[in-house]
Amino acid sequence: MPVTDPFEEHTDRYDEWFQEYEHAYRSELAALERLVGDPGRGVEIGVGTGRFAAPLGIEVGVDPSTGMLERAAERGIEVVGGVAEALPFRSGLFDTALVVTTICFVDDIAETLREARRVLAPGGRLVVGYVDRESPLGERYEAKKANNPFYRDATFVSTDELLEAMESAGFGSFESVQTVFRMPEEMTEPDRVESGRGEGSFVGLAATAP
């Protein structure tokens, strides 16, 4: 079953993070903008409160949390209840599928990626944004997750693990960017966005569906 209780109970706390750590949020958004470009008909899987979908021009969002969906709808997103492993959409419907800070919460990463591939049109683009488990911020989250209502049940992944899973799901033509080179509380302005991976804590991976 998807982890929804913390997001239902702490929707305001979740949304306030983006205000408290605005520079980190702006850094992540800039990284994803580089990968998403013109999304065409897009869906965010695990849309949350719409903090990424809305500014990136993603029209549709799916999430199992009604509290999150209500907030996303207020930001102009067409919201649909559902889980990542069984998306409530016909095959080949979207040009872009966005998955941001969600991959660590799904029950089955492999099935999530297969479903993302299914709902993408041939040549469609999957963009995944996440905190790398092996990065400084990822290591902090992993060490302290027992005390965090959102991350308590999270399973963080490394970039190598996610790349392998995406390849197994049939995706190709990979591109990666990275940002958040400092801890969020240390940032006095947004961090730079660089190609590649291995240094920034927040990584964006893009791949193409066959």
Write down the pLDDT at residue 196. Answer: 97
Instruction: Give tens-digit pLDDT for 75-115.
Output: 999 999 999 999 999 999 999 999 999 999 999 999 999 99
What is the distance between the terminal CA atoms of the chain, rounded to a whole angstrom?
Answer: 29
Instruction: Give tens-digit pLDDT for 171-187.
Output: 999 999 999 999 999 99
How far is 88 from 67, CA to CA, in rounded Å? 19
Round the average pLDDT of the chain to a whole number and report it.
93
Give per-residue burial for 19-35: e unless 16+ CB within 10 Å, then b: eebebbbbbbbbbbbbb
Instruction: Give tens-digit pLDDT for 21-70.
Output: 999 999 999 999 999 999 999 999 999 999 999 999 999 999 999 999 99
**Regarding the domain delimited by 5-208, which CATH topology (the fold level of the hierarchy) does it fall under?**
Rossmann fold (3.40.50)
